[in-house]
Amino acid sequence: MHTKIAPSLLAADFLNLGKDITMLNENADLIHLDIMDGILVPNISFGFSVVDALAPMASIPTDAHLMIVHPENYFERFASKGVSMLSFHLEAALMQNSDPSELLSRIKALGISAGLAFNPDIPLESCFPYLKDADFILVMSVFAGFGGQKFIPETISRVKALKSEIERQGLSCAIEVDGGVNQENAPLLVEAGAGILVAGSSVFKSSDPGATIKALRG
């Protein structure tokens, strides 16, 4: 299976979103939507007005990354917007005493792919009990909240360890890596077991975003 590249819309030109969506439709595998509430993470991004505007224009699947408390309140709404992949943070679930497995099942019941995300300071083993219920695991390679941060190199060994655990449990869930992904670390992440790479700044700040997406895919 080839590596999927999911450019993060957070780094796009919000005054010319239509142009960027066209570029993504032609070059990318997925459109990554970072949804932040200013509570779980110290930043607020965009909401349904943006998702509504882009949904009919996107010809490739969308991947919504919910960095919000009580993500379950919005599962149905994102599914109704045609989102194909939907992830929430383990930190949010634990904070509110929700069972992550149950939240993953609720997403899957909507007929879409369910993902569990967590920050770099969460021990990797914390996600092991939920691997069997997840379609994908979103490993943060920066602290969730802002685009343009520096990639944390320890992510590579975390991805390797996660991949071994997924295999040990005889599962097939995909590994998505998000934050500071660029052409230097992308091949290392893929070799470690990542199947989906999120990239904001490295794509949108490059002179030829389409070529950068191809280069990231390897």
Residues 114-153, interacting with ligand DX5 (CB under 6 A): 142, 144-149
Angle between helices 17-27 and 209-217 (to 10 degrees): 30
Residue 124 CB: number of other CB atoms within 10 A?
16
From the list 20, 34, 37, 63, the catalytic residue is 34
d(CA 177, CA 197) in angstroms, rounded, equals: 5
Does 71 participate in binding ligand DX5 (rule CB under 6 A)? no
Residue 178 touches Zn ion, criterion: CB under 5 A: yes
Select the span of 5-13, 48-56, 106-114, 188-196 touching ligand DX5 (CB under 6 A).
5-13
User: Should residue 34 be labelled a site residue for Zn ion when binding is judged by CB under 5 A?
Assistant: yes
Three-state SS for 33? strand
Q: Is 1 helix (H, G, I), strand (E, B) or coil?
A: coil
Residue 59-78 contact track with Zn ion, rule CB under 5 A, x = bound: ------x-------------
Residue 129, class by beta-carbon neighbours within 10 Å (0-12 exposed, 13-18 middle, 19+ buried)?
exposed
| Residue 11 binds which entry of Zn ion, ligand DX5, none, CB below 5-8 Å type-dependent | ligand DX5
Contact yes or no for 32/7 (Cβ under 8 A) = yes
Number of residues that bind ligand DX5 (CB under 6 A): 22
Angle at 158 between CA 152 and CA 163, to 5 degrees: 140
Fill in the per-residue mask, 28 to 47: x = in contact with ligand DX5 (CB under 6 A), - = not in contact: ----x-x-------------
Binding site for ligand DX5 (CB under 6 A): 8, 10-11, 32, 34, 65, 142, 144-149, 178-181, 198-202
Binding site for Zn ion (CB under 5 A): 34, 65, 178
